Structure 1
Amino acid sequence: MNRIPRDTSGEPNPLAVLTLDDLRLRTSEKWRAYPADVLPVWVAEMDVPLAEPVVRAVTEALAIGDTGYAAGTAYAEALAAFAERRWDWGGLAVGRTALVPDVMLGVVEMLKLVTGPGDPVVVSPPVYPPFYEFVAHMDRKVLEAPLGADHRLDLAALEEVFESAVAHGGRAAYLLCSPQNPTGTVHTEGELIAVAALADRYGVRVVADEIHAPLVAAGVRFVPYLSVPGGESGLSLMSASKGWNLPGVKAAVAVAGPAAAADLARLPGEVADGASHLGVIAHTAALREGVAWLDALLAGLDANRRLLSGLLAEHLPSVSHRAGEATYLAWLDCRALGLGDDPAQVFLDRGRVALSSGIPFGTGGAGHARLNLATSPDILTEAVRRMRTATA
């Protein structure tokens, strides 16, 4: 899995193409949430031009007016082929998939299939803030089984919370973030097998958000949850959104393990209508024809991880940081700087650089900030310089 040598096929580093002036023409959230004097390195948008096959596919669809409702299984077929080629996983059966509007709305629909109102949903913080928001909005109760100090799954804590979650006889689910956002941890095969065994022992259903799966660092092995022994009753959400910077053209695929096929079959048919047809076209093109672009991006992200580590060591040595194994997000422990529970607010107020506050990521988030390193080396360097200015 993920052992295939990367082949950029002459693709330029997508992170080194656009200037700050180019990026400030954009009207998306990353570039419009703050005043123009703020340098944004927060929300999960990448500062890249799109892969040419994606642009071509969407442009051709627009040219012929192909802007109706999504249909068919092309996206799932492309994802299955990518999974087999990239992760040596041939178990993504198109017949056990469903189109959903995006990953988080897919998560909601999967949780509706395996839990009811008031039931507990376990998460492992620090973790993507919408896990809390969406679960609470759908009238489920969030239980935390925090990661260990090493940012890895704490299996003893997980077992304790699983036992508590089912103690009163109700249904429970575990919302697994794999790879983990914000820490960039890639769960090992052994860890996932242990999760599956615990879930089976306590009757907890696993729903895996695997949106960052294409974005692993060189030499790191991503293991799909549904591929491990015991994962057959799990449900997964996958998408090309993060890997190819397509959050604005929404579409995702829900995948069921063999023992969860009947659950997925109960998904209301109207759910698929929420996916963007242009999104499906874009994501399918990315998975089929955008792999060289992805590999060039991954090489650029590897370089940026090294650059960030060097910049922090030189300018902010008190900030503790482990280079992530995946994602394009860096989780920064800023507690030694003495900036309080929300250092991101200090960086914004004093340095005019926007990071994501660690507080909404749950237990373990206070005193931390998340930095998006999917940008040019120049912008990344300027971001750290502004952070250093904020601490002076």
Structure 2
Amino acid sequence: MEHIPHGSPDDPNPLRRLSLEQLRRRTSIKWRAYPEDVLPLWVAEMDVPLAGPVARAVTDAVALGDTGYPAGTGYAEALASFASERWGWDTLAVERTRLVSDVMTGVVEVLKLITSPGDAVVVNCPVYQPFYLFVEHMGRRIVEAPLDERARIDPGGLEDAFRRAVRGGHRAVYLLCSPHNPTGTVHTTGELAAVAALAARHGVRVVADEIHAPVVSRSARFVPYLSVAGAESGFSLMSASKAWNLAGLKAALVTAGPAAAGDLARMPPEVGHGPSHLGVIAHTAAYRDGGDWLDALLGGLDENRSLLAALLAEHLPGVRHLPGEGTYLAWLDFRALGLGDDPAAVLLERGRVALHPGPPCGTGGAGHARLNLATSPGILTEAVRRMAAAL
């Protein structure tokens, strides 16, 4: 394969720091799921070195042998400080948080508290595939509320889904993805307040997956769901996992709104036994001391968003793409190119580029694929070049 350029090891942009040769030494799923001639831009892992403060916190703990069980509220306190500084959210109450191993495990535990088998969970499709897998595995029903043509929440469609979800006296939850995966949509204060009002009107509880919250373009503003009027009975799930590339160091937090505190109090203590102590240390350091690294990453992601738009316009003008303001994912519409329901399969076979397939993301996913932007400009450029050559 041709040489793909990369930046110097001291480049402030984390996305330019590692060469393809260095990345291929990794043993995580991103770099082991496909043969070495494939460029993997599918799963939500980033091609970055670990943030310095996080690396030091973990290595210091290992040097000390501090590898036991997690304790204390340091993680929640670090998140509360980060939320206040970054989003102006000053009402994240540490006493209304619980430690869980990861966001989807936390979602499952919250659903156990406020729904029963046969109850409905509303999702905005196309959406993160595990929403379907985890919810259906629990014996809950998925009710879809498709995003509109701008990849934003459709209030009329959402209200219709709420009506269908509670029909027959069932309890229902709206599993909100914020920012939205795979489209990168960042919901506004007005949109979230409208969600809260609709949910209250129909007796639907809101559970917000906000794992991508820190990963928002400088042109946008993330709004925590629990910070908007009317969201007092909701839940939020947050983690430093996506923003600092810590999926292998398990830790996340459930936060309850004031009116949901009683529900959270019923969460069994053993749920908190799953997180890794090293994970808690890493995530706490990320929120507390990783701001400068995050800012450099966000700048690099903004550059990659612009680069992808330019590359598609030049090499793949038939691909429709609405650039998202959040996450490091791009949702690509290949339907005009006649590649069938799963263009990712075609691009893997012909172009040796791995994208996440669209169909498992639910209604609206056919003919689409998700691309991970969190890589070097060189790898991103080569990937688009390969896709264009394959077609």
Counterpart CA distance in 2 for 1:270 and 1:68 is 16
Tell whether the 8 Å contact from 1:11 to 1:296 is kept in structure 2 after alignment: no
Counterpart CA distance in 2 for 1:165 and 1:217 is 34
Q: Does 1:225 align with 2:198?
A: no
Following superposition of structure 1 onto structure 2, how do residues 116-265 of structure 1 map, counting pairs within 5 Å? 116-265=116-265
1:70-111: CA deviation from partner (whole Å, max 9, x where unpaired): 111000000000000000000100010000110000000011
- Report the residue type matching 2:366 in the other structure: A
- Report the residue type matching 1:249 in the other structure: L
- Report the residue type matching 2:90 in the other structure: G
Q: What SS does the corresponding residue of 1:121 show, helix, strand or coil? A: strand
Counterpart CA distance in 1 for 2:11 and 2:162 is 46
Q: What SS does the corresponding residue of 1:214 show, helix, strand or coil? A: coil
Equivalent residue, structure 2, for 1:40: 40
Counterpart CA distance in 1 for 2:170 and 2:334 is 40
Q: Does 1:54 align with 2:54?
A: yes
Equivalent residue, structure 1, for 2:101: 101
- Report the residue type matching 1:342 in the other structure: D
Equivalent residue, structure 1, for 2:291: 291
TM-score, normalised to structure 1's length? Answer: 0.97
Q: Percent identity?
A: 72
Equivalent residue, structure 1, for 2:115: 115
Q: What SS does the corresponding residue of 2:98 show, helix, strand or coil? A: strand
Q: What SS does the corresponding residue of 1:233 show, helix, strand or coil? A: coil
- Report the residue type matching 1:218 in the other structure: R
Q: What SS does the corresponding residue of 2:31 show, helix, strand or coil? A: helix
Equivalent residue, structure 2, for 1:355: 355
Counterpart CA distance in 1 for 2:263 and 2:242 is 26
Counterpart CA distance in 2 for 1:69 and 1:118 is 36
TM-score, normalised to structure 2's length? Answer: 0.97
1:40-67: CA deviation from partner (whole Å, max 9, x where unpaired): 0110000000100000000011111111
Counterpart CA distance in 2 for 1:142 and 1:70 is 34
Q: What SS does the corresponding residue of 2:311 show, helix, strand or coil? A: helix
- Report the residue type matching 1:256 in the other structure: A
Q: Residue 333 of structure 1: CA displacement?
A: 0.4
Q: What SS does the corresponding residue of 1:198 show, helix, strand or coil? A: helix
Q: What SS does the corresponding residue of 1:136 show, helix, strand or coil? A: helix
Q: What SS does the corresponding residue of 1:255 show, helix, strand or coil? A: strand
Structure 1 runs not aligned, ≥5 long: 1-9
Tell whether the 8 Å contact from 1:43 to 1:372 is kept in structure 2 after alignment: yes
Equivalent residue, structure 2, for 1:380: 380
1:89-135: CA deviation from partner (whole Å, max 9, x where unpaired): 00100010000110000000011111011100000011000000000
Counterpart CA distance in 2 for 1:385 and 1:248 is 31
Counterpart CA distance in 1 for 2:42 and 2:165 is 33
Counterpart CA distance in 1 for 2:51 and 2:311 is 29
1:307-346: CA deviation from partner (whole Å, max 9, x where unpaired): 0000000000000001111000000001011111100000
Tell whether the 8 Å contact from 1:256 to 1:264 is kept in structure 2 after alignment: yes
Equivalent residue, structure 2, for 1:369: 369
Q: Residue 170 of structure 1: CA displacement?
A: 1.5
Q: Residue 280 of structure 1: CA displacement?
A: 0.3
How many corresponding residue pairs? 382
Q: Residue 11 of structure 1: CA displacement?
A: 7.2
Equivalent residue, structure 2, for 1:20: 20
Q: What SS does the corresponding residue of 1:43 show, helix, strand or coil? A: coil
Tell whether the 8 Å contact from 2:179 to 2:213 is kept in structure 1 after alignment: yes
Q: What SS does the corresponding residue of 1:232 show, helix, strand or coil? A: coil
1:153-193: CA deviation from partner (whole Å, max 9, x where unpaired): 01101101101111201111000000000000001111100
Tell whether the 8 Å contact from 2:341 to 2:367 is kept in structure 1 after alignment: yes
Q: What SS does the corresponding residue of 2:65 show, helix, strand or coil? A: coil
Tell whether the 8 Å contact from 1:11 to 1:293 is kept in structure 2 after alignment: no
Tell whether the 8 Å contact from 2:11 to 2:17 is kept in structure 1 after alignment: no
Q: Residue 390 of structure 1: CA displacement?
A: 1.4
Q: What SS does the corresponding residue of 1:231 show, helix, strand or coil? A: coil
Q: Residue 352 of structure 1: CA displacement?
A: 0.5
- Report the residue type matching 2:375 in the other structure: T
Q: Residue 219 of structure 1: CA displacement?
A: 2.0
Structure 2 runs not aligned, ≥5 long: 1-9
Equivalent residue, structure 2, for 1:3: none
Counterpart CA distance in 2 for 1:227 and 1:290 is 23
Equivalent residue, structure 2, for 1:6: none
- Report the residue type matching 2:334 in the other structure: C
Equivalent residue, structure 2, for 1:332: 332
Tell whether the 8 Å contact from 1:78 to 1:288 is kept in structure 2 after alignment: yes
Counterpart CA distance in 2 for 1:43 and 1:390 is 21
Counterpart CA distance in 1 for 2:387 and 2:289 is 38
1:220-266: CA deviation from partner (whole Å, max 9, x where unpaired): 01110000000000000000000000001010000000000001111
Q: What SS does the corresponding residue of 2:205 show, helix, strand or coil? A: strand
Equivalent residue, structure 1, for 2:271: 271
Equivalent residue, structure 2, for 1:4: none
Alpha-carbon spacing, 1:11–1:263, altered in 2? closer, same or farther (3 Å): farther
Alpha-carbon spacing, 1:16–1:350, altered in 2? closer, same or farther (3 Å): same
Equivalent residue, structure 1, for 2:70: 70
Q: What SS does the corresponding residue of 1:349 show, helix, strand or coil? A: helix
Tell whether the 8 Å contact from 1:186 to 1:325 is kept in structure 2 after alignment: yes
* Stretches of 4+ aligned residues off by more than 6 angstroms: none
Counterpart CA distance in 2 for 1:285 and 1:64 is 16
Tell whether the 8 Å contact from 1:249 to 1:276 is kept in structure 2 after alignment: yes
Equivalent residue, structure 1, for 2:300: 300
- Report the residue type matching 1:232 in the other structure: E
- Report the residue type matching 2:318 in the other structure: S
